[in-house]
Amino acid sequence: MLIDALQFLTSTLFDLIATAFFLRFWLQWARVPFRNPLAQFVVKVTDFAVKPLRRVIPGLLGVDWASVLPLLVTECLAMWISLLLAGEGVGTLFAPGILVLALTATLRLGLYVLMGCVIVQAVISWVNPYSPFAPVFQALTRPVLAPLQRFIPPVGGMDLSPMVALILIQLLLVAPVAALERLARGLL
């Protein structure tokens, strides 16, 4: 019972930290203006790790590696601590199985954050399209929704692309991500 509570607390803490690093990476990749409250919050929360890393790790190919590296290290630590608490003795922190589990967890986290952004963007577009957060969520969901909107016309003035995007994201979570996780567990 105590182990379950510790696993829950560590999982929650590491998920929140990893989400902040992922959002920082994604906000930069999607070229969201950093003058909005969400972006300012994410920057302030992640600056402790990203700023020092920027001095030694340059951005390359449009990717902010100084944001990606702490994300992957956070996920590796989360996996390692989770396995230790579960009683599975894992010798090294960066064992191949833990690395693949961390990559899988990062992919799963990214898909869940994308799902949340699609839902928030759809709700904002219905309730208050002139909200200061509307451009943020439009920029974050544009890479997924724009291609779908080209193929799926609005029905009765309603954009169905968020619903299709959510279904596709769920399919990704069920098939490839779950298979990758099974592969990683086999490497442990």
Distant-in-sequence, close-in-space partners of 123: CB < 8 Å, separation ≥ 6: none
- Report the C-alpha gap between 50 and 59 in whole angstroms: 12
Our count of domains for the chain comes to: 1
Going residue by residue through the chain (188 aa), what tens digit of pLDDT does each one get? 788 888 899 989 999 999 999 999 999 888 888 888 888 999 999 999 988 988 888 777 777 788 889 999 999 888 888 888 877 765 665 577 788 888 889 999 999 999 999 999 999 988 888 888 888 999 999 999 999 999 988 888 788 899 999 999 999 988 888 888 887 777 76
Q: Tell me, what's the pLDDT at 123?
A: 92
CB atoms within 10 A of CB 27: 22
What is the pTM assigned to this prediction?
0.86
Give residue for tokens 């086999």. 186
Residue 120 belongs to what domain range? 2-187
Separation of first and last alpha carbons in the chain: 25
